Structure 1
Amino acid sequence: MRLEYSLLPRLLAIGLLGLACALPARAADGDPPYEASLLRLSEILGALHYLRPLCGADEPTLWRDQMDALVAAEAPSPERRARLVTEFNRSYSSFAALYRSCTPAATTAIERYVSEGSRLTRDIATRYGR
């Protein structure tokens, strides 16, 4: 089977997105025990910041505002803040590279991310809340 060259960049982008999503961000020494969960939550918020408005939700800043609130609540070191923001931005950019319109796959991703984000938030608050 021969692929057309115009499909190759899209297939490569999809493969790279899959690889990026499969490789979790790493917490550094001295970070709180829930750091990996916060990094994943940052990634989810970035995806939702792109996907929800793309699929018609009238919430242009809701998910970025949630990310700002997360960072404010954590008051992280500059290095930690950079890791959290990088995950948000990487996820946003990855979805922006793949989705130009709302598709059934985008809708499914939204549903899964809202569910996972809710679970992560609940778990972090339950296990580590003050």
Structure 2
Amino acid sequence: MRTLALLLAAALTLGTLSPAAAAGPSEGAPPPYDGDLMRLAEILGALHYLRPLCGVTAEGQRWRNEMQALIDTEQPSDARRARIIASFNRGYSSYAEVYRTCTPAAKVAVDRQLDEGARLAHEIVVRFGGN
């Protein structure tokens, strides 16, 4: 579960990004980490679907709550907020279309999502975090 802890900690650390990184190169432009953030949102959506499907019911709404915390931290414009939410929903629905029960492939998908999410969150914080 080390990857899980890294993902959660790093995703919530996004609020410590430097103002220049968060603002992007010009007013209204997405930040340079925007593509990675969209992928992270997609991963959170996938985990929101897959974890309960594979019997991890104790987490409840954890991944949705993490997504909300990420949005609250980012304080995106309405358009960017809609894109972040669409990424989360895409992650959720793409797995809902494929998996109706927890299969060995679904368990592998969970592990891959956790690993990629932790890597992305870490890279965003390392490359763009701090002042």
| Superposition TM-score tier, normalisation by shorter sequence | 0.7 to 0.9
Query: Relative contact order: is structure 1 or structure 2 higher (C-alpha 8 Å, sep ≥ 6)?
Result: 2
Task: Please name the residue that 1:11 is paired with.
Answer: none
In structure 2, stretches of 5+ residues that fail to align are: 1-27
Deviation at 1:93?
Answer: 1.2
Aligned to 2:5: none
Matches within 5 A, 1:34-113: 34-57=33-56, 58-113=58-113
Query: CA RMSD, aligned part only?
Result: 1.0
Q: Secondary structure at the match of 1:36?
A: helix
Report % sequence identity: 55
In the alignment, residue 51 of structure 1 is paired with which amino acid?
Answer: L
Q: Distance in 2 between matches of 1:102 and 1:89?
A: 19
What is the one-letter code of the residue matched to 1:34?
Answer: Y
Greater Rg by CA: 1
Aligned residues: 102
Q: Helix, strand or coil for the counterpart of 1:105? A: helix
1:61-83 CA distances to partner (integer Å, 9 max, x unpaired)?
01101101111110000000000
| Structure 1 unaligned residues grouped into runs of 5+ | 1-28
C-alpha separation in 2, matches of 1:48 and 1:32? 25
2:89 alignment partner, SS class: helix
For residues 42 and 81 of structure 2, what CA distance do their matches in structure 1 show? 13
SS of aligned partner of 2:59: coil
Q: Deviations over 1:44-74 (max 9, x none)?
A: 0000000000001021201101101111110
Judging by fraction of residues, say which structure has more helix: 2
Q: TM-score, normalised by structure 1?
A: 0.76
Superposed, 1:1-20 pairs within 5 Å as none
AA partner of residue 129 (structure 1): G
Moved over 2 A (4+): none
The residue aligned with 1:128 is 128
C-alpha separation between the residues in 2 aligned to 1:93 and 1:41? 15
Distance 1:104 1:116 in 2: 18
TM-score normalised by L of structure 2: 0.75
